[in-house]
């Protein structure tokens, strides 16, 4: 029987993977998410990976267009500044990798996916995905180097902020793609391994996690409004995606399940933040939920 911790971890993992502003509705990703975690068959795994990429990449073109529109001004500023040639090259590299990423994804969509039973087609898909993953890693590295280089040019930082904001939006997609590269690295996968030996337990895990997720999705507007009353200048996209998933899950429980102890909900949220979030996540989540719990009283 799955534990409450396993159920909450699976729910947070789904909320994180499926929550991309401007992307497809989270509900459309549900079956693919579970199949990616539990499907050992090579062919079905490839098809599920493709479906997941379709979900993740919805809205990518709009984000890429936003980045492309903001880059000319940034490149001109970098070209006019002293000792910023390396930064200009980094930004040009990012645009090049973005273009390569788009081209490779279009190439994958042209593959004969309907013929997945053909070993040759399976090999083509695997090679094409491997190339996409490689481009995605290079792109992530380039995005990480650019703000680091700006640390030596603080006077340029304000002028680069629009481009940096677009990069962060694009990186949220790349983060999900990195997870697809190795589904075994899903944080709760180690727990699922032994559950997979029991179909009943796995079905219960999915049923309970889906129930939690449904509550969050149903209450998301109300939850975000309540969080906005606590967090100064709140905007969902400004919150770290992992922290956002944990806050929404835990806040929805505080709002809809009065029988649950607030201390238990908060402590569980802190544990999730420590496992999935950054060094500051636990403190941040604790502070927000503590204030929400006081309103509950």
pLDDT tens digits for range 187-230: 444 444 544 455 677 788 889 999 999 999 999 999 999 998 89
DSSP label at 155?
A: G
Same domain, 84 and 178: yes
**Closest to 241 (Cα-Cα) out of 267, 214, 212, 277:** 277
Same domain, 56 and 174: yes
> pLDDT tens digit string along 16-71?
888 876 677 777 888 888 877 766 667 888 888 898 899 899 989 999 999 999 99
Same domain, 205 and 166: no
Same domain, 103 and 131: yes
> pLDDT tens digit string along 4-13?
888 898 899 8
Same domain, 111 and 136: yes
Cα separation, 87 vs 93, whole angstroms: 10
DSSP label at 277?
A: S
CA distances from 90 to 36, 87, 153 (A): 34, 5, 14
Cα separation, 205 vs 245, whole angstroms: 18
Encoded tokens for 246: 């944990």
As to burial, measured by CB atoms within 10 angstroms (0-12 exposed, 13-18 middle, 19+ buried), residue 57 is: buried
Domain containing residue 276: 198-296
Point out the domain boundary residue: 118, 150, 185.
185
Point out the domain boundary residue: 164, 185, 206.
185
> pLDDT tens digit string along 96-147?
999 999 999 999 999 998 888 888 888 999 999 999 999 999 999 999 999 9
Same domain, 76 and 99: yes
Encoded tokens for 217: 């999705």
CA distance from start to end of the chain: 33
pLDDT at 297: 58
pLDDT at 195: 45
Report if residue 275 sits inside a domain: yes
Cα separation, 250 vs 262, whole angstroms: 9
Cα separation, 77 vs 62, whole angstroms: 24
What is the count of structural domains for the chain? 2
Angle, CA 219 vertex, CA 63 and CA 242 arms, to 5°: 50
Confidence class for position 183, pLDDT limits 50, 70, 90: low
Report if residue 291 sits inside a domain: yes
CA-CA-CA-CA torsion sign (112, 115, 118, 119) = positive
Same domain, 149 and 211: no
**Closest to 95 (Cα-Cα) out of 133, 119, 67, 55:** 67
Point out the domain boundary residue: 153, 185, 217.
185
Cα separation, 63 vs 237, whole angstroms: 13
**Closest to 265 (Cα-Cα) out of 293, 241, 227:** 293
CATH of the domain at 235: 1.10.940.10
| Average pLDDT score over residue span 172-188 | 76
CA distances from 9 to 12, 33, 158, 174, 275 (A): 5, 14, 38, 21, 9
Same domain, 56 and 164: yes
| Average pLDDT score over residue span 138-161 | 95
As to burial, measured by CB atoms within 10 angstroms (0-12 exposed, 13-18 middle, 19+ buried), residue 149 is: middle
């Amino acid at each position: 029987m799955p534990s409450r911790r396993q159920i909450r971890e699976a729910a947070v993992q789904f909320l994180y993977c499926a929550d991309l502003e401007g992307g497809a509705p989270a509900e459309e990703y549900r079956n693919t998410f579970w199949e990616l975690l539990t499907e050992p068959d090579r062919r079905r795994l490839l098809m599920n990976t493709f479906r997941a990429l379709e979900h993740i990449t919805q809205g990518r073109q709009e984000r890429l267009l936003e980045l492309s529109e903001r880059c000319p001004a940034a490149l001109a500023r970098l070209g006019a500044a002293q000792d910023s040639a390396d930064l200009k090259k980094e930004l040009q590299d990012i645009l090049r990798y973005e273009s390569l990423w788009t081209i490779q994804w279009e190439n994958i969509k042209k593959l004969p996916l309907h013929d997945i039973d053909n070993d040759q087609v399976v090999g083509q898909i695997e090679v094409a995905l491997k190339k996409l993953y490689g481009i995605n890693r290079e792109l992530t590295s380039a995005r990480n180097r650019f703000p680091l280089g700006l640390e030596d040019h603080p006077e340029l930082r304000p002028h680069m902020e629009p481009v940096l904001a677009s990069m962060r939006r694009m990186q949220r997609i790349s983060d999900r793609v990195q997870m697809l590269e190795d589904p075994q690295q899903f944080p709760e996968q180690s727990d699922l391994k032994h559950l997979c030996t029991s179909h009943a337990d796995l079905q219960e895990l999915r049923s309970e996690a889906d129930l939690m997720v449904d509550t969050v999705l149903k209450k998301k507007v109300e939850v975000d409004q309540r969080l906005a009353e606590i967090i100064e200048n709140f905007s969902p996209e400004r919150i770290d995606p992992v922290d956002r998933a944990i806050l929404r899950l835990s806040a929805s429980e505080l709002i809809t399940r009065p029988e649950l102890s607030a201390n238990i909900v908060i402590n569980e949220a802190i544990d999730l933040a420590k496992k999935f979030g950054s060094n500051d996540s636990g403190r941040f989540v604790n502070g927000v939920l503590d204030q929400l719990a006081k309103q509950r009283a």
